[in-house]
């Protein structure tokens, strides 16, 4: 029993980290906003996104494991340069916007519990993230990231304490509900975009390669893939995505029960979002401050997890497109271009905070942008993962292909619906 548990834990890695990073500050803000604005109206997305999220992420991980390279390399090798450059451009823009929104949210959250101004906090956060990602070995860093995933548990714990109207929650979880207006489509595109998110595609593919390198499974650039590695990859991905969607479900329930039910329908500040966690600490003195502290801890923890994932995935894409040496297993002097891309994406993200957009709103806008960018990327993932010439015996089966293409259609419809509702609004 102890041996089986140890083997299961050893199999956990990129999938769990990617799943937890999925509920980054942008995810928390977007899920909180839908709960506050629509109550339980979009709760069903947390359940129905599970097979789509798993299928896309599993395909990305499998592409990395089979080819020994990330997604950008696969696109570079099998598609035109125009498609490659378009993909890299979309990923860089999407990730940089997300990085900026996350840094801003972390700084705004710290302002709730410290006397410091926004600018020095944002700079300190940026420096800390860069130091951790550039000067920490992959093995140490991945262990650190695994522990940060625990910060997501604040919402499930709160959900167990508050008086949840389960008679309303359970039907809302299983029965889809759609309002045909711009506000509904805008937020649901954000929910889809922050869940099935572009940065996750590139990160998981590349981190499976990092796992292979750390296990010395790549010889002369060719992976020595085993059935056990693929089985562990799938277990890790399923576990990570289930963990992610449990967090999503809990955040929406808490926001709907605590915020929407008390008339808070628009989250404008970090303090607004933090109110959802007050029931967890309501028995303590200064419950309001403790809720802010708990919220800040979660935002900081998941931000420290999410931002390096976003910057890293952008760097992997750039490095593969332009033939830089890449890998978190390499030291800075061995991969200047790779770490330079991480630094540039993070610093540009920091600068985005000074164009006058409210940090919490920026998180939701970033999620919606992701919802548009993900559509063409999922198309490429579907094509690559189903190609026998690329994937060999590990190409996508019928079930995987079906869910990937349903994901593509669903997210495309959401994006088109948002634009249509905007035009007729």
Q: What is the pLDDT of residues 54-113, one digit of tens each?
A: 999 999 999 999 999 889 999 999 999 999 999 999 988 998 988 988 899 899 999 999
**Kind and range of the H or E element at 238?**
helix 227-254
Q: Is the distance from CB of 19 to CB of 241 less than 8 angstroms?
A: yes
pLDDT tens for 339-361 read 888 888 899 989 988 887 788 78
Residue 27, phi then psi, degrees to nearest 5? -65, -45
Distances (CA, A) of 342 to 63, 107, 206, 335, 348: 23, 20, 14, 11, 10
Structure tokens, 214: 């750390």
Rounded to an integer, what distance in angstroms lies between the CA atom of residue 378 and that of residue 383?
A: 9
Give the largest CA-CA distance in the chain: 63
Quick: pLDDT tens for 111-141: 999 999 999 999 999 998 888 878 876 567 6
Place of tokens 């990937």: 404
**pLDDT value at position 17?**
66
Question: In whole angstroms, what is the distance from residue 202 CA to residue 387 CA?
Answer: 18
Query: CA-to-CA distance for 257 and 276, rounded, in angstroms?
Result: 8
Size of the chain in residues? 425
Helices and strands: H and E segment counts in the chain = 19, 2
Tell me the three state secondary structure of residue 219: strand
Judged on CB neighbours under 10 Å (0-12, 13-18, 19+), 201 is buried
pLDDT in tens, 160-212: 888 999 999 999 999 999 999 999 999 999 999 999 999 889 888 888 888 88
- For the chain, what percent of residues have pLDDT higher than 90? 43
* Residue 268 CA, distance from chain mean position: 22
Domains of the chain: 2-424 (1.20.1740.10)
Residues linked to residue 228 through DSSP beta bridges, in sequence order: none
Its pTM stands at: 0.87
pLDDT tens digit sequence for 168-179:
999 999 999 999
**Token code pair at residue 26:** 């942008």
């Amino acid at each position: 029993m102890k041996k089986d548990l140890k083997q299961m834990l050893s199999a956990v890695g990129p999938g769990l980290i990617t799943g937890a990073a999925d509920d980054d500050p942008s995810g928390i803000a977007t899920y909180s906003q839908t709960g506050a604005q629509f109550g339980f109206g979009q709760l069903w997305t947390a359940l129905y996104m599970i097979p789509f999220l798993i299928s896309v992420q599993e395909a990305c991980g499998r592409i990395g494991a089979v080819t020994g390279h990330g997604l950008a390399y696969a696109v570079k090798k099998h598609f035109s340069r125009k498609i490659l450059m378009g993909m890299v451009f979309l990923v860089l823009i999407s990730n940089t916007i997300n990085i900026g929104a996350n840094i801003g949210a972390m700084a705004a959250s710290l302002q709730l519990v410290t006397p410091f101004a926004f600018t020095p906090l944002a700079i300190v956060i940026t420096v800390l993230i860069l130091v951790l990602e550039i000067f920490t070995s992959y093995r140490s860093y991945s262990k650190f990231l695994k522990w940060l995933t625990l910060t997501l548990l604040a919402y499930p714990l709160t959900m167990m304490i508050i008086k949840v109207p389960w008679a309303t929650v359970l039907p809302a979880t299983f029965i889809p509900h759609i309002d045909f207006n711009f506000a509904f489509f805008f937020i649901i595109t954000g929910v889809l975009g922050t869940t099935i998110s572009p940065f996750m595609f590139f990160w998981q593919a590349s981190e499976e390669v990092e796992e292979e390198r750390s296990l010395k499974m790549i010889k002369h650039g060719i992976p020595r893939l085993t059935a056990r590695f693929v089985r562990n990859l799938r277990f890790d991905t399923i576990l990570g995505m289930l963990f992610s969607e449990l967090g999503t479900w809990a955040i929406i329930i808490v926001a709907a029960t605590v915020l929407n039910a008390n008339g808070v329908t628009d989250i404008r500040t970090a303090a607004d979002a933090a109110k959802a966690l007050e029931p967890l600490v309501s028995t303590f003195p200064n419950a309001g401050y403790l809720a802010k502290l708990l919220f800040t801890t979660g935002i900081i923890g998941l931000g420290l997890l999410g931002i390096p994932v976003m910057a890293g995935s952008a760097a992997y894409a750039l490095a593969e497109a332009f033939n830089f040496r890449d890998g978190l297993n390499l030291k800075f002097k061995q991969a200047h271009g790779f770490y330079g891309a991480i630094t540039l994406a993070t610093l540009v993200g920091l600068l985005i905070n000074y164009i006058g957009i409210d940090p919490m709103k920026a998180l939701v806008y970033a999620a919606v942008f992701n919802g548009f960018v993900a559509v063409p990327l999922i198309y490429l993932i579907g094509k690559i993962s189903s190609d026998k010439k690329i994937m060999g015996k590990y190409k996508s089966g019928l079930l995987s292909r079906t869910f990937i293409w349903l994901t593509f259609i669903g997210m495309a419809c959401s994006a088109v619906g948002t634009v249509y509702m905007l035009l007729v609004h």
